[in-house]
Structures are given as structure tokens and as C-alpha cells.
Structure 1
Amino acid sequence: MYNAYSKLLITVALGGTMAFSSCGNSDEKKAREYVDLATKLMNDKEYDAALANLDSLDRQYPSEIEVRREGMSLRPQIIELSSLKQIEQCDSAIAGLIIESNRLKESLKFVPDAFEGYYTTKALAGKVPAEKSGLYARMTPDGVYMVIASSTQKSMSTGVTLIAKGGESVSTPDIANDGERNDRSRGVEIITFMPDECDTLGQFAEAHGGIALKIRYNGAKPYEMPLPEEQAYALGEIYRASKVFRQLRLAQLQKSRLEKQLEIARNQRARTFRESAE
């Protein structure tokens, strides 16, 4: 009886061990499939999918340490190749944007002032908003679009509306008279609109080619007037230039970020190689 009972215990124990071993081997095999697929995706230049596959490996099989280590060794190689590909794309975009920005600069003029200076069209360079009513488009060296509205009619204005020949219109938000951004201290009403307050004016003028636009001053004493053609043209042209300048700036920042990412990935690969050699 003792022998029979002992044999039963041994059989159960061996069965459990074999089942556990079988389960473990199965998990390792499935985990390794993630590494194999990530390698294939990397070779196919599907870098985002390859990295996502390694992320899935870490989530699905956290206990498969050895297989995950293989994935950790593979990850910086994928990031390196992905970074190189994206840097190449950035270089191409930057080259095109530089050509376009240089072309646009031919119709612009840089005006130095007490701050960082600004770009405007050659027709408006030297024109002072306080001397003539209308809208004055400007762009900072970094591509930030701004518009200054001026009125000599004392309309107590807080904002403006741009109106096209067909009746379409866009309006700025109201800027309260604070003596700074909405200043009436010199007998002329001057309102300075920030980018998110005047982008719609630039888009509107660009879409309508700066042709036959009117401006309405919104305030206690609203009134309308034809927008001078040179001002209407500048609204759209400066807005177009600001988009290109901003895109160029963002592309340059993106390239800088990718170059740092590439350096980190290469350092990780070198460190992984040294550790495996030891």
C-alpha cells in the first residue's frame, strides 16, 4: 500500500512538473515570436510597428526575462534606424522650406525696432499705424504673426471685422481698452492682436487674395471703411510667410530632437554590446 501511494505521489508530482515545464516552454516560444516579428518589421523598415511589437512583448510576457533582454538589445537598433529615416525626411523638408522662405523674403522687408524687429511687406515698411487707419500685418523673426489695427475716427473700438465683397466675414475677439494692447492715449485707437486672435484675419485675406476687403471697427461707435489694397495684400502675404517660417522652425527643432534621440540610441547599443561581451 505504501509503495502504491508513493508511486501515486511521484506520478502526480512529475505530471505537474511536466505541465509547468510545458507551459513555460510555450510562453517562451510565444514571447520569442514577438522578437522575431520585431526583427522582421525592422528589416522591412516598419520601425513604429517593430517598437510596438516589443512593447507588447513586455506587457504580455513580463516573466520571460531572457527573451525580453533580447528585445531590449533590439530596441535601440530600431530607434537608431527610425531616427536616421526621420532625419532624412526632416532634411528634405527643411531644404524645401528654406527655398520657399527665401522666395517669400524677396517681397518682405525687415524693419528694426526697439525690440526684435519685424517683417512686413515692402509697401508697408516705414508706414506708421498711428498715421493712417487700417490693419498692419507683421511677423517676428521666428514667424509669429501679429496684426495692429488703427483708427483715427474715435470709434471706441475693441475689435475688428474683415468683410469680403460677397458678404463673408471674420472677426477678432474684443480687446478691452487697457492703455497697452488697446491704447487710445495719443488720439488714435491702436489695438495689437496676438497670433491666436488674428490668425483668422490672415487666413481670410489669403483666401480672398486681399481683393476688395472692408474693415468694420466694432465698438461703441462702429463704422466701416474700405481696407487699403496694400494692407489687404499684406494681411495675406505676411500670414503665408508666417506659416512657412513656423514650419521651418518646427522642422529644425524636430531634427534637433531626432539627433539627440539618435545619440542616445547609439550609446545604448554600445553599452549593450559591451555588457554582452563581458
Structure 2
Amino acid sequence: MLELRGKKVSDGIKEYVSKELETLTFVPKLAIVRVGENPDDMSYERGATKKLKSFGLDVASYVFPQDISDEDFKKAFKDINEDDEVTGILLLRPLPRTINEKDIENMIDPKKDLDGISPINIAKVFAGDTTGFSPCTAEAVIEVLKAYDIELTGKRVTVVGRSMVVGKPVSMLLLKENATVTMTHTRTVDLKKTCSDAEIVITAAGRAKMLNSDYCGQDAVMIDVGINVDENGKLCGDVDYATLDGKASAATPVPGGVGTITTAVLAKHLIQAAKMR
């Protein structure tokens, strides 16, 4: 079984970023906006900052207290959104319930919205319009498939998960690549058969080791977007990776797979935002 590691893909994106940087007259700046001290958000922020700086890009964090009011946060976000020195924005979500997240999604400048949360960018993804930004994790899935020359045209692909972060947008990106897509979720009847009938399975259900080799057709490709913690406190995906050998032709590990590509896609989007200016 071929292990589809994210480093190869990330390195390829880094080459693209380096070449494009040479054509720019300024260093693009990413604003990471975080509310509160959620450990997962802080971990992602550290990883994204390290990755983008290693790519030669500028990163600034804007951190607000958990109890900030809706009015105060919107005022601060407006200032970041309108700052000419900020090329792109990454908003760490979910926001506290005291802040109207939908309002922020509508506020964000679509040309700075690097993770595709603006209704305008979401609409572009569903319309197949490449002038918008798709969610980084969804695009990372396509990046790994292309980097390893896994053909998508005409292939039967089952997507497990229906979120606006991965499931729905990745389905649209797959359709644009001429794949035949079946979207499923945790309540799908006979999910095992739907997955095992597919040539490629992409799972973003958020349930630790939910899928084993019974969900994998012979020589199928398994792309695991899930990031979970197992019963031993270890990081794992939605797929029980250890059961796939001899069944899958290729699969992404967790950690070391799709997650490592997501921040590289963020860097790619920042370059694209800079070029749009």
C-alpha cells in the first residue's frame, strides 16, 4: 500500500510559493484572528505561523478575549479587514456564541478570505468558479490526489461527511475534476457498502477509526481528513489505518497526511490574494 504523505505535496506547494514571491514587490501578510484560548486553535495557529514563515511569508496574530462583545469584535475585525497591509485573513472558528459568526462571514473581504467562509466564495466553489477561495482542507484533498497522480476523471468517489468545511466543498471540487461523487454521512444507510463500492473514499466524519478495511474496496484509495484522539489518547483519523494493508492501494496517514497540506494551501491562497491586488 502506497502511503500518501503530505510532506511531498507541501514541498511542491512551497516551490510554487517561492517562485511567485520573486514576482511580487512586497511580502504578503496573513492575519490570523483568534478569540479565546482554545488549545486546538492555538495549536493550529502555531503550526500555520511556522509553516508560512518557513515559506517566506509574513504572519501576524490578532488575539481577542473569550468574553469580547459582539460589537467590539466586529469593530476590531472591520479594522483588520480594511487594513491595506493585510493581504489575507484566517479566522479561527467556531467563535464564541456571543459573537454572530454569520455576520463575520458576510463582513470578510472575499479577496482576503483565504479559507473560503464568505458566502461569495462558497457560491463560487459551488459554481465551479476558480476566482474564489475554497476551504483549505477541501483543496488539500485535491492537492494530494493530484500530487500522487491519482486519476479523478470518471472515478467513483464516496465522500463521508457533509460539513461546509470539507464534505460539501470537496464534493464540488471533485465534480469539477469530473469525478462521479456520492456524498454520505454518519446516518447513511449501509455506509459500508457505499464506501466499499467506491474507487476513492474521502472521509471527514470526525469519528475515530470509524472506517476499517470493510469500508474499503480492493485497491481503493482512502483519503482520511479526520483528526481525532483514540482510546489511548493518540492522534488518529476516521480510518483504522492499520487494517488497510493488503486492501487499499494507497492511503493518507494521520498524522502526516492531509493535515500537513492544509497550511501549505493557506500559503498558496495568500500568494493568490497578493496577485489579485
Larger RCO (CA under 8 A, 6+ residues apart): 2
When you count helix as a share of all residues, which structure comes out higher? 1
TM range (shorter): under 0.3
Over alpha carbons, which structure has the higher Rg?
1
Q: With structure 2 as the length reference, what TM-score do the two structures score?
A: 0.23
